[in-house]
Every structure is written in structure tokens, then in C-alpha cells.
């Protein structure tokens, strides 16, 4: 852990795992949906999120993240009202864990244009999170480094197209993982990169044949 | 830095803060200016969190809120058993713990539950001694390095090591920071930290209903008091008989031996009292709405 993992984050209390991490989970879902504030969200709390989440403001924190707030936003306690104002319909339920970390939420979010996202993510403590499932695919990423998430059809050439464009943008790839359900099915590429990709580069990635969506995630801000 | 021994050696013959700053720049690939401005922002956020205390707020459970103001009023009007300065420290520690419980903005140091310890000793001490922000920022580096050595060798998470890992670590960090500000050398700083950690060894994590409220808020005051005591002892030339890193490893060992019911599960300790059980049923029994 570095010095600023010990001191910080600046966050709205009471718990880095149940509050700050929950905001980041909401933010990740918002970013992965990629359509601004969702129209509808159903959130299932699992494990310790279900048991003690309400006392820690976990539901309000998740809603705040979906609305685009950062973990230090003082409007977090007021997020249910702000969601109503923003026209976002939120419901909560509880589900058992399926072997994930004890602090886990499963989200189903729906954008105004009908686009949907299913995501499962866990809060690991200290405000750090990991996304473990996305639209039915098992994945694993934290967003702590700048991360590109590319959803595509599993077809030859897609990976080299993506890495080729990144090379052209002079973006260095730190790690890269591929997930798919079956050959030719849907796939997810998770690339941790050394620097952000400019808007033009993102547009070129999105234009690749077989790519459905490209998300740029940077869960860890300066503070 | 991985150990207190390394920290003590790094500070030999030079300002300990400089050694930690250099280490941070190396570790994160950051510039000196970046690092300093980030730490400065944390101090500013601590100060703002302190100023933002609202005595009328109550936590969702109703268990936390208002006590900081009660303590402050008492210390101001009656001086108190410990005198006005310590009264102010206790009040600030409680206020920050309450702000955290009431979903206000705080600085985790090292965790949200223990966020009151460090600012409660540093801010009143700065005011009393007329220190510059620059000096307090330096002390935060020292505190952070102590936390790093503890996190690397043991843990700073209540779920892993009990409250000794949270309030204990916060107290050790605050003790080292105060000792540094009081003119102690790197050896004294590490011993201040060890004395504090030793004093809180064995402290269990037993939050009522799993919420960071009871006993967490008041433990921030306890951590602050022990930090001051430990800094003074170290500055007086008293040394921890057990070498500092061995104290850290003892904390880890105790944490590993601690029953899971005493590691943030909210099942035993104060959480397992009739009061604790009653609160848990009341809070967890309701339906799941925000
Ligand atoms: S009792 Fe547990 S939750 Fe409360 S401050 Fe201590 S470690 Fe944190």
C-alpha cells in the first residue's frame, strides 16, 4: 500500500467498504452503461451489503454512484431524492452470495434508449472495488488503473484491431485479459493502460467491426 | 517503507519527512510538488471536515451524534478533569467520529472508523504551538509511513485484525506524528508509535449492529489520548522495551488469534451484549429501503 492508500480517501462516511466502495460500484455501472444517468436500476444487495448495508448508507451510496457522484460528494445522503428528480427509478432487493466477496451488489440498469447492463461488483475495503461479472460474462477488473473495457463479438482480428489502434495512439498496454462465453459468442476485453485514450482514439475503437461498446474507466481519482 | 526499523534508519541524520517524501515519489513515480500538494489537500480536507461538524445531526440508527458538542461545551465551561487542551482533543475526536457516522465528508486515516484520531491530535496541537501548515503536512508524511509499516507487516483493517489494527494503527500514526512535531528523532518517532500500538494491543472490533458508531466514535478519543501519552513518553526518552517492529508483529499475531466474532462481524463484544443484540434486531429487521 502506498502512502495515500493509508491517508485518504476523502470520502463521505461511515465506511470505506460499505459507503465509498458502493459509490464506486454505482459509478462503474454508470460508466459501463455509457448513457449518462440510467432510467431504471434494480440493485440486489448480497452478503454483508444486505446485512448491514442500510445502516452504512450503502443503498444511497449506490444510487449516488449511478447519478455520477464521487465518493466525497456531500449530496450522497440525499441521493434517493435526487434520483427521483433525475427521473431514475430505483428498486432494491437481496440475493445470496454466489461465492463472491462478502460485500457485493448485483445491478441491472437500463438507459433511456433501452440499452441495458447487468453487472456484479464487490467492495474490497479502503474504497477499492472489483467488477466480477458483466452481462453474464465472468470478468475481473478494478478500474484502479486507467482501464478500457471493450465488448465485442468473439471473432478473429478484433484483438489485433484494438491493440493496433492503441499502438497508433501511443498508448502502452500494462495488462490485457479476454473473456468470452463460447467461440463466436460475446466477449469482453479488459485492457489496463498507462495513459488515457483521447476521444478520437475511442471513436476509432468503437468503429471496429464486431465491437459493441468501448468504456473508459478510471475509478481512482487524484484524491 | 516496509518496517519501522527501515523508517528509523531512513531518518538517521536527516529530516525524517524528507526520507518519506522521497520514498513516496519513488514508489508512485510522482514529483515532489505532486506529492506535497496532495498531502496538503488532505490536511485541508481534515480541517474542513472538522469545521463542518454539525451538532444537530444523528446517524440513521440514532446511536451517534451530539456528544462532540456536549464534550466541547463541558470542556469550555468547566475546564474538565484533563484540562482545556485535552478536552478540545477529546471533543474533536468525537466530533469527527460522529461526522463519519452521519455521512459527512471525512478523511480516512487509515480507515473511516478511525478518521478522528489524527486530526484530533494534530489540529489542536498546531493551534497551541502556532505551527505552520507546512509543518503539519510533514507530520502527516511521518504518520503515513508508520501506517505503511503496520499495513505491510500486519493489517489496518478491523475485519482482519480487530480494532487494534484500526484505532491502534491510527493512534500509533498520531503518536509518531506528534513526536516528530515535538522534535523527536526517527528513533523516538518509531518508539512513540510502538508504545501507542502496544497500549491498544488486543482491542477487538465489535461494532454494534455492524455500524461504525458504537464503540467506534468514542474509541477515536481513546486513540487520540494514547497517542499524546505515547508521544510524551518517547520525547521524555522512554523507549519501548519490545522493539517497534516486534510490537507490530505481535499485533498481527493477536489479530490472527482473534475469534472471527470479534473482527467486525458485529456478533460479540459490545455488539453481543443484550443492548447490541436488541439494536441489531431493530436495524436489520426492517425492510430493505434506503
Ligand atoms: S470497532 Fe471495528 S468498526 Fe469500529 S472503529 Fe474499531 S475497527 Fe473500526
Of A2, A8, A52, the CB nearest to B42: A8
pLDDT at B156 (0 to 100): 93
Ligand 1 geometric centre to CA of B216 (Å): 5
Residue B102, chain A, CB below 8 Å: the answer is yes
Burial of A23 (0-12, 13-18, 19+ CB in 10 A): buried
Q: Do residues A130 and A149 lie in contact, with contact meaning Cβ atoms separated by under 8 Å? A: no
Segment A111-140 mean pLDDT:
93
Q: List chain A residues with CB under 8 Å of B54.
A: none
Q: Least CB-CB distance to A11: which of B61, B106, B152?
A: B106
- Is the Cβ atom of B264 under 6 angstroms away from ligand 1? yes
Instruction: Pinpoint the residues of chain A covered by CATH 3.30.70.260.
Output: 147-217
B111/A80 touch (CB, cutoff 8 Å), yes or no: no
Cα-to-centroid distance, B212 and ligand 1 (Å): 6
pTM: 0.90
Grid-cell match 489542536, residue found:
B124
Query: Phi first, then psi: what are they for B2, rounded to 5°?
Result: -90, -30
* Mean pLDDT of the A39-47 span: 96
Split at pLDDT 50, 70, 90, the class of A55 is confident
Nearest CA in chain B to A62: B290
The more confidently predicted of residues B94 and A56 is: B94
CB atoms < 10 A from the CB of B274, how many?
A: 7
Contact A16 B111 (CB under 8 A): yes
Q: Does residue B286 register a pLDDT over 70?
A: no
- As a three-state string, the secondary structure of A18-37 is HHHHHHHHHHHHHHHHCCCC
Nearest-angstrom CA–CA distance, B216 and B197:
17
Q: What is residue A126's three-state secondary structure?
A: coil
Alpha-carbon span B128 to B64, nearest angstrom: 29
- Asked if residue B198 has its Cβ within 6 Å of ligand 1, the reply is no
What ipTM, to 2 d.p.? Answer: 0.94
Residue B156 is given by DSSP the state S
* CA gap A18, B230 in Å, rounded: 32
Q: State how far Cα B43 lies from the chain centre.
A: 14
Question: What Å distances lie between residue A147 and A28, A143, A217, B18, CA to CA?
Answer: 11, 6, 5, 33
Confidence of residue A101 (pLDDT cuts 50, 70, 90): confident
CA distance B41 to B123: 15
Query: Tell me: the pLDDT tens digits for A179-189?
Result: 998 899 999 99
CA distance B53 to B47: 10
Q: How far apart are CA A142 and CA A219, in angstroms?
A: 8
The CATH architecture to which A147-217 belongs is 2-Layer Sandwich (3.30)
For residue A137, what is its C-alpha cell? 460474462
Q: Which of B56, B94, B71 is nearest to B213 (CA)?
A: B94
**Average pLDDT over chain B, rounded to an integer:** 96
Closest listed residue to residue B121, CA positions, set B83, B173, B70: B173
pLDDT number for residue B283: 83
Q: Which of A12, A21, A55 best tests the B interface by mutation, with the highest count of B CBs <10 A?
A: A55
- Please give the angle made by the CA atoms of B243, B118 and A62, to the nearest 5 degrees: 115
Residue B287 in this model has a pLDDT that exceeds 60: no
* End-to-end Cα, chain A, rounded Å: 15
- Chain A contact present for B172, CB below 8 A: no
Of A192-196, B86-90, B154-158, where does mean pLDDT reach its minimum? Answer: A192-196
Rounded to whole angstroms, the Cα distance separating A54 from A22 reads 12
Structure-block grid coordinates of residue B149: 509499516
Give residues 224 to 243 of B whose Cβ lies within 8 Å of A: none
pLDDT of residue B289: 41
For chains A and B, count residue pairs whose Cβ atoms are closer than 8 Å: 153
Looking at chain B, list the stretches that DSSP marks H as alpha helix, in order from N- to C-terminal side: 4-10, 16-28, 32-51, 67-78, 84-101, 117-129, 133-153, 158-161, 163-181, 186-199, 216-235, 244-257, 274-285
| B25 reaches A (C-beta below 8 A) | no
Instruction: Please list every residue in chain B whose beta carbon sits closer than 8 Å to the beta carbon of residue A41.
Output: none
Domain boundaries, chain B: 4-283
Rounded Cα distance, B238 and B188, in Å: 8
Burial of A42 (0-12, 13-18, 19+ CB in 10 A): middle
Determine the atom of ligand 1 nearest the C-alpha atom of B220. Answer: 5
Question: Locate cell 448508507: which residue?
Answer: A57
Question: Among B101, B113, B267, which is best to mutate for testing ligand 1, by the most ligand atoms less than 8 A from CB?
Answer: B113
> How is residue B205 annotated by DSSP?
B
**What DSSP line would sit under B116-145, residue for residue?**
THHHHHHHHHHHHHT--HHHHHHHHHHHHH
CA dist., res. B261 & res. A178, Å (int):
39
CB-CB contact of A92 with A30 (8 Å): no
Q: Judge: B106–A125 Cβ closer than 8 Å, yes or no.
A: no
> Residue A220 — pLDDT band, cuts 50, 70, 90?
low
Is residue B191 in contact with ligand 1, taking CB distance under 6 Å?
A: no
Asked if residue B163 has its Cβ within 6 Å of ligand 1, the reply is yes
| pLDDT at res. A70 | 95
Instruction: Search chain B and give the residue with CA nearest A4.
Output: B144
Q: A10 alpha carbon to ligand 1 midpoint, in Å?
A: 18
Q: Say yes or no: CB of residue B213 within 6 Å of ligand 1.
A: no
Superfamily classification of domain A3-135: D-3-phosphoglycerate dehydrogenase; domain 3 (3.30.1330.90)
In this structure, the residue with its CA closest to atom 1 of ligand 1 is B205
Give the minimum alpha-carbon distance from B271 to chain A in angstroms, rounded to a whole number.
13
Q: A103-110 and A40-47 as β-strands: parallel, antiparallel, unpaired?
A: antiparallel
Taking the CA of residue B264 as reference, the ligand 1 atom at the shortest distance is 2
pLDDT of residue A222: 32
Sign of torsion over alpha carbons B285, B212, B158, A123: positive
Report the share of chain B in percent with pLDDT over 70: 98
Ligand 1 closest atom vs CA B163: 7
- The reply to whether B153 touches chain A by the CB within 8 Å rule is no
Amino acid at each position: 500500500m502506498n502512502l495515500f492508500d493509508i491517508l485518504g480517501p476523502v470520502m463521505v462516511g461511515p465506511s470505506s467498504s460499505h459507503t465509498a466502495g458502493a459509490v464506486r460500484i454505482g459509478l462503474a455501472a454508470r460508466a459501463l452503461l455509457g448513457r449518462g444517468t440510467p432510467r431504471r436500476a434494480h440493485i440486489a444487495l448480497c452478503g454483508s451489503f444486505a446485512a448491514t448495508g442500510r445502516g452504512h448508507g450503502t443503498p444511497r451510496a449506490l444510487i449516488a454512484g449511478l447519478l455520477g457522484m464521487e465518493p466525497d460528494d456531500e449530496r450522497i445522503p440525499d441521493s434517493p431524492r435526487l434520483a427521483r428528480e433525475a427521473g431514475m427509478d430505483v428498486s432494491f432487493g437481496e440475493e445470496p452470495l454466489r461465492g463472491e466477496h462478502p460485500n457485493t451488489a448485483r445491478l441491472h440498469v437500463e438507459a433511456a434508449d433501452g440499452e441495458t447492463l447487468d453487472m456484479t461488483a464487490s467492495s474490497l475495503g479502503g474504497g477499492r472495488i472489483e467488477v466480477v461479472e458483466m452481462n453474464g460474462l465472468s470478468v475481473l477488473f478494478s478500474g484502479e488503473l486507467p482501464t478500457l473495457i471493450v465488448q465485442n463479438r468473439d471473432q478473429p482480428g478484433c484483438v489485433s484491431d484494438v491493440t493496433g489502434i492503441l499502438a497508433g495512439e501511443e498508448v502502452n498496454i500494462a495488462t490485457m485479459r479476454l473473456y468470452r462465453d463460447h467461440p463466436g459468442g460475446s466477449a469482453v476485453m479488459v485492457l489496463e493502460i498507462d495513459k488515457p485514450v483521447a476521444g478520437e482514439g475511442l471513436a476509432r475503437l468503437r468503429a471496429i467491426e464486431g465491437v459493441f461498446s468501448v468504456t473508459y474507466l478510471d475509478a481512482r481519482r487524484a484524491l | 517503507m516496509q518496517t519501522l526499523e527501515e523508517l528509523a534508519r531512513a531518518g538517521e541524520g536527516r529530516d525524517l519527512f524528507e526520507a518519506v517524501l522521497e520514498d513516496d515519489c519513488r514508489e508512485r513515480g510522482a514529483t515532489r510538488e505532486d506529492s506535497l500538494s496532495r498531502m496538503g489537500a488532505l490536511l485541508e480536507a481534515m480541517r474542513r471536515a472538522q469545521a463542518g461538524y454539525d451538532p444537530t445531526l444523528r446517524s440513521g440508527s440514532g446511536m451517534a451524534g451530539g456528544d462532540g458538542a456536549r464534550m466541547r461545551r463541558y470542556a469550555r465551561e468547566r475546564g474538565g478533569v484533563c484540562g482545556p487542551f485535552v478536552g478540545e482533543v477529546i471533543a474533536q475526536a468525537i466530533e469527527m467520529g460522529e461526522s463519519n457516522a452521519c455521512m459527512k465528508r471525512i478523511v480516512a486515516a487509515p480507515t473511516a472508523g478511525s478518521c478522528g484520531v489524527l486530526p484530533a491530535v494534530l489540529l489542536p496541537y498546531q493551534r497551541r504551538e502556532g505551527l505552520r501548515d507546512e509543518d503539519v503536512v510533514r507530520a502527516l508524511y511521518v504518520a503515513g509511513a508508520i501506517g505503511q509499516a503496520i499495513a505491510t507487516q500486519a493489517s489496518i483493517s478491523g475485519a482482519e485484525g480487530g480494532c487494534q489494527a484500526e484505532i491502534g494503527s491510527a493512534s500509533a500514526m498520531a503518536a509518531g506524528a506528534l513526536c516528530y512535531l515535538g522534535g523527536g528523532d526517527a528513533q523516538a518517532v518509531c518508539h512513540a508509535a510502538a508504545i501507542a500500538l502496544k497500549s491498544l494491543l488486543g482491542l477487538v472490533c465489535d461494532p454494534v449492529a455492524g455500524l461504525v458508531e458504537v464503540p467506534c466514535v468514542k474509541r477515536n478519543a481513546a486513540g487520540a489520548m494514547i497517542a499524546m501519552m505515547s508521544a510524551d513518553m518517547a520525547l521524555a526518552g522512554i523507549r519501548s522495551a519490545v522493539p517497534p517492529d516486534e510490537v507490530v508483529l505481535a499485533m498481527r499475531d493477536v489479530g490472527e488469534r482473534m475469534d472471527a466474532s470479534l473482527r467486525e462481524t458485529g456478533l460479540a463484544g459490545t455488539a453481543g451484549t443484550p443492548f447490541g443484540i436488541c439494536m441489531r434486531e431493530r436495524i436489520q429487521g426492517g425492510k430493505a429501503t434506503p
